[in-house]
Amino acid sequence: MSLAGRIVLVTGAGGFIGSHLVEALVEAGASVRALVRYSALGSRGWLDAVAPGVEIVHGDVRDAASVDAAVRGASVVFHLAALVSVPYSFAAPEAVVDTIVKGTLHVLTAARAHAVERVVVTSSSEVYGTARTVPIDETHPLQAQSPYAAAKIAADKLAESFGRAFDTPVTVVRPFNAYGPRQSARAVIPTIITQLVAGRPLRLGSLAPRRDFTYVADLAAAFVAAAACQRAVGEELNVASGREVSIGELAGALISRIAPGTEILEDRERLRPERAEVQRLLGSAARLRALTGWEPRWSLERGLDATVAWFRDPAHLRLGRYDAAVHQV
């Protein structure tokens, strides 16, 4: 299915991944409608800078009426809106569950009511918990080690239920650790970069966990490929590079690029509860490749170079602990 000329709704469009997806959709010729959480300051997130001409709809995924109005008339819906932060979910689990679970239910309900041709729901590799076998494919058991992961599992199962019970044409896309320009400092790569660029001591939590990082442009391309592929309907699709790196190794690579010789200090406030820490995530995107032909184009080294260059701009050097918002995904 070609997206050119179709009305395509993106929830969470003003956030990190959402804004990159909007750009990819515009490039693909889609008529993009962006659902952005209302702000009294009038901000549209990253869309203020990157996507002129996109139709902006203010609303909240927790509000069924505003979601229904946004979905009406759309052919394809990409649902990215969420409260995105594992640490924040320990502090405010009800808010995280309310946004992710209720928001997904509202999107699916509206998509069903308006006979949307395709719905793509955003999951997270956090739903797998610490890897039991690697690389992790879509048959790996789901195990929630945080309220955020539990909410995402519930949302994934809602998507599955709508597909089975109502024939809603839904695909679940499951990214492994996205990174790149515009990401908030809640995530580990911006956390490291912003501290180093600002000349601060590098304070991190555990250095042992291993992660599979996907550059955001590759992730946006995966979303588009999944939506365009009829065979992807009813599927859960990992988006992963197939390469893992420890947080300590990642910090070392960024230190060498920005501030050689910087010492890493342990910040106990950044440590997750012991049994909540996901120690290893290494993904397999074999199913996505087989169905769509998607391949990652960005190596970790190239992606880190591009991300560091973006954050070196003083206008982009934003420090924050969680920076969690409904639109930021």
- Ordered structural domains, the chain, with CATH: 7-183+213-242+282-297 (3.40.50.720)
Could you tell me what percentage of the chain is helix, strand and coil, using 3-state DSSP and rounding each to the nearest 5?
45, 15, 40
pLDDT surpasses 50 at 326: no
Q: Are strands 76-79 and 118-122 parallel, antiparallel or unpaired?
A: parallel
pLDDT tens digits for 69-121?
Answer: 999 999 999 999 999 888 889 899 999 999 999 999 999 999 999 999 999 99
pLDDT tens digits for 153-175?
Answer: 999 999 999 999 999 999 999 99
pLDDT for 323 equals: 39
Q: Identify the sign of the CA torsion 198, 199, 201, 203.
A: positive
Residue 293 token pair = 């032909």
Mean pLDDT of the chain: 91
23 sits in which H/E element: helix 16-27
Distance in angstroms (rounded) separating the CA atoms of residues 108 and 116:
9
Task: Return the number of other C-beta atoms located less than 10 Å from residue 309's C-beta.
Answer: 12
What is the full DSSP assignment across 78-127?
EE------HHHHHH-HHHHHIIIIIHHHHHHHHHHHTT-SEEEEE--GGG
Percent of the chain at pLDDT > 90 equals 77
64-71 and 103-113 are packed helices; what angle lies between their axes, rounded to 10 degrees? Answer: 40
* Rg from Cα positions in the chain: 19
CA 188 from centre of chain? 14
How would residue 271 be classed by pLDDT, with cut points 50, 70 and 90?
low
Residue 201 token pair = 């001591």
What is the full DSSP assignment across 165-181?
HH---EEEEEE--EE-T
Overall average pLDDT of the 59-64 stretch: 96
Task: Judge whether 111 and 7 are in contact, CB under 8 Å.
Answer: no
pLDDT tens digits for 5-22?
Answer: 999 999 999 999 999 999
Q: Is 238 helix (H, G, I), strand (E, B) or coil?
A: strand
78 forms bridges with which residues in the sheet? 10, 120
pLDDT for 328 equals: 34
pLDDT for 274 equals: 64
pLDDT surpasses 90 at 137: yes
Please give the model's pTM, rounded to 2 decimal places. Answer: 0.92
pLDDT for 318 equals: 57
